Structure 1
Amino acid sequence: MKRVEVVVLNWNGWRDTLVCLASLQRLSYPNFGLIVVDNGSTDGSQDQIEARFPAIKVLQTGANLGFGGGCNAGIRRALEQGADYVWLINSDTTVDADALTELVHVADEQAQAGAVGSVLYELDRPEHVQLWGGGKVQLWSGLSRHQLMPASLDFISGASMLLRREAIEQVGLFDDQTFFMYWEDSDLGFRLRQAGWLLAVAERSHVWHKLSASLGKGSPLLDLYFTQSGVRFLRRYAPVASVSVLVMVARMLLKRLLMGDVGRVKAVFKGYLGA
């Protein structure tokens, strides 16, 4: 049976992380380890996690390295420990007991699958599908959409992503130098597909996810990072990057202007300038 290392990234969110870890303790898959990475939290997260789960020694980055950077620290540790697969699971999730078993089952059946995703549901509406594995990116418009039903995918969501060791070793980790937060999973999905790997979804792997728990939905900081990373992504992959960037930024600015949210307008503009 393949060895899986489960990587959970925490940043100033130990309450959510404790709930996530409790659900992971109930996994039916028998051969997995647990790596908790703390991204330089300032709320006492490491002490809280280690007090509740004494068997876990938190891997401390010492600074906020962003989503990709924090996950990369966990992935490196997982590979050092001989993992065949690495499962990235968000700290603001709870998982079904068979979630990992189903992911591994699909990965074992589909040898060309570099990454396998779960079906994510809204935490506060448990029957409502939030995301079917991942999403698609319209390169001309810069529009990234979550897939809600079976279809081909451009990327697997980093909220629940099983990565094959051989795929990671071929294409590399998240590009944490380019993407501090958001779009790093899209970039990895594009790199995997360019290298010939497939993206798959384990339909019976169920995860419940609290959307935008780290920054908060509608946060100006979310807009800043999303815009910055989106512009960088389009400059890398869009056929005519200048057109795609213009369309994406204009759409985001217009939407926030119509909402009358000046703070978010400024955040989008700042993200564009910082890209």
Structure 2
Amino acid sequence: MSTDQNPVVFVIIVTYNGAQWVDKCFGSLRQSNISVKTIVVDNQSTDDCISKIRQFYPEVDIINSPENLGFGKANNLGILKAMEQGADYVFLLNQDAWIMPDTIETLVATHAANPQYYVLSPMHLDGTEKKLDFGFSLYISPYHCKNIVSDLILKNGTERAVYTTTFVNAAFWLISREGLESVGLFDPIFPHYGEDDDYMHRVMYHGGHTGICPTAFGCHDRVQELAEVKKFPYDKRYKRQIVGCLITLMNINRSFYHCLMVFMRSRIEFFFSAFLKLRLKEAFLEMKVFFVILLQMTEIIRHRNHNKKRGSWLKN
């Protein structure tokens, strides 16, 4: 680990067929006011993403995963390597995102003044750099992040350096070493999606906070609309339903009994709602999700108990 004056920051980027964003993403890291070390974990890309990184950004350390690990487990590989090499912070960055020169500098300075925040995020702009990312605009509502919208719009002089939030997606996360040593890695029970929701729950359980810094910015070049699960193809809807159930059941801030009752009630309501409307395919989907989750219940309980321990998944 470094001195406070010269923090060691590792950027972790999980790639999968992200060639179109390579220059925006990695080029922005070269312009960072704070020098960073970058680790890429590639999930079996089939485009020229990795060859472009090797050719134009040779300073990047590349880990080639033997399989597509998804977001959480792939990030875990990079985080572990960064910690072994003395990281004071890891900065998780999506492959379809980029930062401003002062983004990481601002986040690190904010954490130094507010070490109770295990995870810090900048404001998320869309790919045009002219508007807030649509999803992020929902995360800063008063439901998740009290006062930030009012303070920024009214400019009433009460703006703070950081605002506590219950959730912000992991497109741009600065995680302190203390946060990692307390909370641990992403839980591998999540196949894809939901890892960040679960991590936010665990940050809270272990006494930390998640914050948004209104003077730091990053750009996320993704689809700018609300995902309507009902319009997803059957397989994708099934996977999202599984993830939603896992997020509910894995919340260690609530008793397992409470989580189980919420899960049972919602599945039963969704099933009978679909069945009585003769939406038999939807009813079958709900029944399938219900029984698949029941079969995982022993594993879910084991993971819940494991996540209550300090630094879960850092060691087996």
The TM-score, its normalising length taken from structure 2, stands at: 0.70
Contact 2:19 2:49 in 1 (8 A): yes
Residue 117 of structure 1 corresponds to 121
Structure 2 contact 126–132 (Cα < 8 Å) conserved:
yes
Closer, same or farther: CA 33–243 of 1 in aligned 2, 3 Å: same
Quickly say closer, same or farther: Cα 1:185–1:110, change in 2 above 3 A.
same
Aligned-partner Cα distance in 2 for 1:224–1:135: 28
Partner of residue 24, structure 1: 29
1:41 maps onto 2:60 in alignment:
no
1:200 to 198, 207, 211: 211
How far, CA to CA, are the matches of 1:253 and 1:196 in structure 2?
39
Q: Give the drift of 1:20.
A: 0.9
Aligned to 1:141: none
Q: Find the counterpart in structure 1 of residue 106 from structure 2.
A: 102
**For residues 273 and 95 of structure 1, do their structure 2 counterparts lie closer, same or farther at Cα, with a shift above 3 Å needed?**
farther
Deviations 1:234-273 (A, max 9, x none): 1122634343465389679989xx9x9x8x9987776665
- Where 2:61 maps in the other structure, the secondary structure is coil
Cα drift, residue 180 of structure 1: 1.5
Output the CA distance in 1 between the equivalents of 2:39 and 2:24: 15
Q: Is the 8 A contact 1:119 1:203 kept in 2?
A: yes
For residue 250 of structure 2, give the secondary structure of its aligned residue in structure 1: helix
1:13-49 CA distances to partner (integer Å, 9 max, x unpaired)? 22223321112211111x3211111112222432232
Q: Which has the larger radius of gyration?
A: 2
Distance in 2 between residues matched to 1:212 and 1:245, nearest whole Å: 33
Structure 2 unaligned blocks of 5 or more: 1-5, 151-162, 294-316
CA contact (8 A) 1:122 1:210 kept: yes
**Total equivalences in the alignment:** 259
Three-state SS of the structure 2 residue aligned to 1:200 is strand
Instruction: Please name the residue that 1:243 is paired with.
Output: 262
Relative distance call for 1:272 and 1:244 in structure 2 (3 A) is closer
Match of 1:92?
Answer: 96
CA deviations 1:98-124 (Å, max 9, x no partner) are 111111111111011111111111214
> Which is helix-richer, 1 or 2?
2
Cα deviation for residue 73 of structure 1 reads 0.8
Are 1:62 and 2:81 counterparts?
no
1:84 & 1:35 partners in 2: Cα distance?
15
Alignment-mate amino acid for residue 2 of structure 1 = P
Q: How does 1:66-77 map to 2 (within 5 A)?
A: 66-77=70-81
Shift in Å, 1:68: 0.1
Q: CA offset at residue 175 of structure 1?
A: 0.3
Describe the shift of the 1:112–1:19 C-alpha distance in structure 2 as closer, same or farther (beyond 3 A). same
Residue 190 of structure 1 corresponds to which residue in structure 2? 201
- State the superposition RMSD in angstroms: 3.5
Partners of 2:182 and 2:52 lie apart in 1 by 37
Deviates further, 146-155 or 81-90: 146-155
* Cα 1:46/1:65, change in 2 over 3 Å: same
- Counterpart AA for 1:182: Y
State the SS of the aligned residue for 1:203.
Answer: strand
Q: 1:95 to 1:105 in 2, by over 3 A?
A: same
Separation of aligned partners in 1, 2:107 and 2:247: 28
Partner letter of residue 99 of structure 1? T
The answer to which of 63-72 and 239-248 deviates more is 239-248
* Deviation of 1:54 (Å): 2.3
- Any conservation in 1 of the 2:145–2:166 contact (CA below 8 Å)? no
| Residue 13 (structure 1) aligns with | 18
Compute the displacement of 1:70 (Å): 0.8
Percent of matched pairs sharing the same residue: 24
Hey, what does 2:182 align to over in structure 1? Answer: 170
Contact 1:20 1:94 in 2 (8 A): yes
Matching of residue 126 in structure 1 with residue 130 in structure 2: yes
Cα pair distance change 1:46/1:157, threshold 3 Å: same
Counterpart position of 1:229? 243
| CA offsets 1:159-193 (integer angstroms, 9 cap, x no match) | 111001122112210002x1111111111111111
Contact persistence 1:34–1:56 (CA under 8 A): yes
Change (3 A) 1:70 1:40: same
Amino acid at match of 1:111: P
CA contact (8 A) 2:203 2:209 kept: yes
